[in-house]
Amino acid sequence: MPVNLPIILTLGRIAAIPVVMGLILLEDDVSHNFGIAAAVFTVAALSDFVDGWLARRWHQTSILGAFLDLTADKLLVTGTLAALLVAGRVNIWLAFIIIAREIAVMALRGVAANAGRMVPASQWGKWKATVQFTAIGLAIVRLEDKWGAFHLDEWAMFVAVIITVVSAVDYMARFRSVLFTND
């Protein structure tokens, strides 16, 4: 396995997942774990943008790196959402839609790979990641201010779900020939 800085950053993102989840789940009124969890999550989320940029800039892209990057993103989002669900910080239906989309797109990538095709990231997928990371970060810190009946993070999560659904439809439309082949 060729180890380079982009892959190390991606592996670091994977290693941060149980730390973020543990800090969220161990929160109490004294420990301020949510603040620490938000900081670790933010660094992990930012590493998603840095590792890909470095890999392209330094010509260190690889199939392994791309696979690890996508897997790390899915694990970071689903793991953190699961912890936030247990902590009562996110709506179960919004989290379910996001997690279901992540699983569905991973399955689509598997079907496409089995058919000898690759599912490249789309602009919708990149926007989705940015908005999801932002909404999840806001859910971790949960500001007490409300906009109308909802907290800012709840509005952000709703926007994340909309973009998540649009990106899923985009992936399905671009790869319907792979999905509905008779082979």
Q: How many residues does the chain have?
A: 183
Q: Is the per-residue pLDDT at 149 higher than 80?
A: no
Contact 39, 73 (CB under 8 A): no
How many Cβ atoms from other residues are within 10 Å of residue 150's Cβ?
Answer: 13
Query: What mean pLDDT do residues 131-136 have?
Result: 96
Q: Which of 129, 157, 128 is nearest to 142 (CA)?
A: 157
User: CA–CA separation, 77 vs 90, rounded Å?
Assistant: 13
Q: Is the per-residue pLDDT at 144 higher than 70?
A: no
User: CA–CA separation, 126 vs 78, rounded Å?
Assistant: 16
β-sheet bridge partners, residue 151: 146
And the tokens for 74? 């899915």
Interacting residues of 39 by C-beta distance below 8 A, sequence separation 6+:
none
Confidence of residue 183 (pLDDT cuts 50, 70, 90): low
- 61, burial (CB in 10 Å: exposed 0-12, middle 13-18, buried 19+): middle
Strand 146-147 and strand 150-151: the pairing is antiparallel
| Architecture of the domain spanning 5-179 | Up-down Bundle (1.20)
Average pLDDT, the chain: 88
Q: What is the pLDDT of residues 43-93, one digit of tens each?
A: 999 999 999 899 999 999 888 888 899 899 999 999 999 999 999 999 999
> What is the phi/psi pair of residue 62, to 5°?
-155, 160
Q: What is the pLDDT of residues 21-30, one digit of tens each?
A: 999 999 776 6
User: CA–CA separation, 108 vs 90, rounded Å?
Assistant: 26
Supply angle C-alpha 154, 160, 148, rounded to 5. 30
Q: What is the pLDDT of residue 15?
A: 98
Report the predicted TM-score, pTM, of the whole model to 2 decimal places.
0.89
Domain ranges of the chain: 5-179
